[in-house]
């Protein structure tokens, strides 16, 4: 078994997705966000947090990550925190 995904968010209708592990046998930790390029079939970025990721939203220029008590907003192009 390859592992479960708890959250998946697609950037519009393109090949970029945000993945967070979940379920009984998670593929990734629930505190880790993986940016995955489906066209190249590989991870293109990784972000780690201290607590569990509750939600993720992708926009053309921003990544929004929601934790239990914080919200982080990053530039999509360089993954820098705003």
Domain boundaries, the chain: 5-75
> Which of the four pLDDT bands, split at 50, 70 and 90, describes residue 25?
confident
CA distance 22 to 3: 8
Instruction: Provide the pLDDT for residue 43.
Output: 92
Tell me the whole-structure pTM to 2 decimals. 0.86
User: What's the average model confidence in pLDDT over 39-43?
Assistant: 91
CA 36 to chain centre: 8
The pLDDT tens digits for 54-69 are 999 999 899 999 999 9
> Which of the four pLDDT bands, split at 50, 70 and 90, describes residue 19?
very high
């939203």: which residue's tokens? Answer: 57
In eight-state DSSP terms, residue 26 is B
Joined tokens for residue 23? 């379920």
Domain 5-75 class, CATH top level = mainly beta
What are 62's strand-pairing partners? 75
6 conformational bin, left if phi > 0, alpha if psi -120 to 50, beta if neither? alpha
């Amino acid at each position: 078994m390859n592992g479960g995904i708890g959250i998946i968010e697609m950037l519009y209708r393109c090949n970029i997705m945000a993945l967070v592990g979940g379920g009984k046998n998670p593929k990734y930790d629930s505190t880790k966000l993986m940016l995955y390029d489906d066209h190249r079939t590989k991870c293109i970025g990784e972000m780690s947090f201290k607590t569990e990721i509750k939600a993720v939203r992708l926009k053309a220029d921003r990544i929004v990550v929601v934790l239990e008590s914080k919200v982080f907003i990053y530039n999509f192009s360089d993954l820098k925190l705003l």
